[in-house]
Structure 1
Amino acid sequence: MNDDSKTSSIRELDRINLRLSPKTFDAIDAARGSRPGSVSRNTWITEAVQEKLDRERSAASLFEGRRRNG
């Protein structure tokens, strides 16, 4: 197997370093703990970012609709 086939089977993701306070990590861990099953910090943070992006998109759409309708 060559390296190209290995990398092509891996989903493309970008990696970042994220600095958060211990207090924020504690709050994330408490929220994760209140959910059924096991949710990793990475999954929890990814979901939180997606929720924020969805809210921003909805707000922008609502604003654009109001702007067009005057």
Structure 2
Amino acid sequence: MDSDSKTSTVRSLDRINLRLAADTFAEIDAACAARPGNVSRNTWIAEAVQEKLAREPRTAAQSPERRAHG
């Protein structure tokens, strides 16, 4: 598959199923509640993923297009 056909199938937002222990969800919910305003669990997890990605060393294999496809 060439890069043009790959790019055409990438969506700006996509859904995943995420399995976490109940105590992890409780910790996330507590962190959300401790922040000012209304921060959803989804927003908190998305921010955590972005923070982790920002700390990871970046290589050619980890370009934004590559990460989007897993």
The bucket for the TM-score relative to the shorter chain is: 0.5 to 0.7
CA distance in 2, matches of 1:25, 1:54: 23
Q: Which amino acid in the other structure matches residue 41 of structure 1? A: R
RMSD (Å) for aligned C-alpha atoms: 1.8
User: Greater helix percent: which structure?
Assistant: 1
Percent identity, aligned pairs only, is 69
- Which blocks of at least 5 consecutive residues in structure 1 are unaligned? 1-10, 62-70
Residue 14 of structure 1, CA deviation: 1.3
Q: Which protein has the larger Cα radius of gyration, Structure 1 or Structure 2?
A: 1
Residue 13 of structure 1, CA deviation: 1.1
- Which blocks of at least 5 consecutive residues in structure 2 are unaligned? 1-10, 60-70
Greater RCO (CA < 8 Å, at least 6 residues apart): 2
How does 1:1-70 map onto structure 2 within 5 Å? 12-57=12-57, 60=58
| Secondary structure of the structure 1 residue equivalent to 2:16 | coil
Matched residues, number: 49
Q: Which amino acid in the other structure matches residue 37 of structure 1? A: G
Poorly superposed stretches of 4+, deviation over 6 Å: none
